[in-house]
Chains A and B, each alone.
Chain A
Amino acid sequence: MSVVEISGLHKSFGSLQVLRGIDLTVERGDVVCIIGPSGSGKSTLLRCVNLLEQPDSGQVTVDGTELTDPDVDIDKARRRLGMVFQSFNLFNHLTVLDNLTIAQRKVLGRNRDEAERIARQNLEKVGLAGRERSLPSQLSGGQQQRAAIARALSMDPQVMLFDEPTSALDPELVGDVLGVMRTLASEGMTMLVVTHEMQFAREVADTVLFMDGGVVVEQGPPAQVIGAPTQERTRTFLARVLNPTGDNP
């Protein structure tokens, strides 16, 4: 059963057409990796899924609710979508534990004990047990991003959205965050991941989407899109990404 359905999505910033008709269906439990050159519209597509960007036209349906319907309570609908940002965006004035509990309490109405129990479970899951009392500024980038993932998970989302979750990290910290995401994928979480990590996409994704110029150029299982791309634009992009030094293989 499909949990996310996107059809005919258009979005412009001024005269710049960023999305030019995107259609996408995501089945429950699927991991979809969105790849493409910068400026191809992949982050905008992800941000349109939870309406952080308001699309100009087209529909986004999550779990049977059409988010693009102006009569839908967007705050309520967003609870089904967890979002992880490139720059973590942990709440700087709150401890890690409070970061994880504040929305549970203020939005879902859970009491403090229950919220903290769920928060501790999720911190354990991302390998941050014992850091409850730390402030975000006392954590490394990798720890902050894992705390941000735990924060999103604490809302029990149906779908997790990852917007270049490892792009702001030092190379040696990327592995921890990708490890957490692998675990989530293996537990059957539905995930939309905008990423430049081709190895991750190849190993974890059920579907890879290659975007360029605001359209989906190529879409399919990773073995096909990354392993044997049929489109010239995909091949050019992959050649640059997989062989960044420009050596001849």
Chain B
Amino acid sequence: MSTRTDRHRSNAVGAGLPIVATAVQVWRGETGVLRGVDLAIRRGSRMFVIGPNGAGKSTLLRVLHGLVEPTQGTLRWGDATRAPRSQAMVFQRPVLLRRSAAANVRYALACFGIRGADAAVRTAEVLHAVGLAHLARRSARVLSGGEQQRLALARAWALEPEVLFLDEPTASLDPGATRDVEAIVRDIHARGTTIVMTTHNLAQARRLADEVVYMQAGVATEQTPAEVFFTKPRSPEGAAFLESERT
């Protein structure tokens, strides 16, 4: 697989990194889902967003990916004020079209103007990379949960995104399928994509993260290197969370 191509760089509105969020809030009626988030995502990081249920992790990812407009605050993606096209997202539950595995990947490529022989080659590459080449013609929706999530990753990977957002991609997978997904995430990162991922699985975050953002009640209480967070978290909320997970 090639590293990110100039074609995708040109798809971005300027360079899409770093992503800087300043005092970002998202309110749904009277409920503050995000109550003031400040963070910066640098190129090349493997950032994990962790925290209890309802902390706002999924909403934060959607805001950073441009799927949700913040109610207040500012976001910049490099020089741009709108989320660039050079991003991709994998959801907790894979969302696949009623067509074959290969056709799902080709569809995503077509959305970015890549068709014909280029699309066929890239589709074959990513399906091979995630171990689904033998299921290329199988209908995507009859694949197992782990296979569907690998296909969703392949689809995102085919776009060679600058940033890949993953919203708890292994939450409903067995340990074997989880290992497969983690290996693919490592490969994608190794080829130059910045990773931003949410998880409930602290062991997974320990394995994969180089940077951690801890969120609670809609606020990012700290953003620290992973080894610092897991040994001596800077925020009392982060420390309390780690302690509660240990007991």
Q: Do A and B form a real pair?
A: no
**Residues of A participating in the B interface, judged by any CB pair closer than 8 Å:** none
**Residues of B participating in the A interface, judged by any CB pair closer than 8 Å:** none
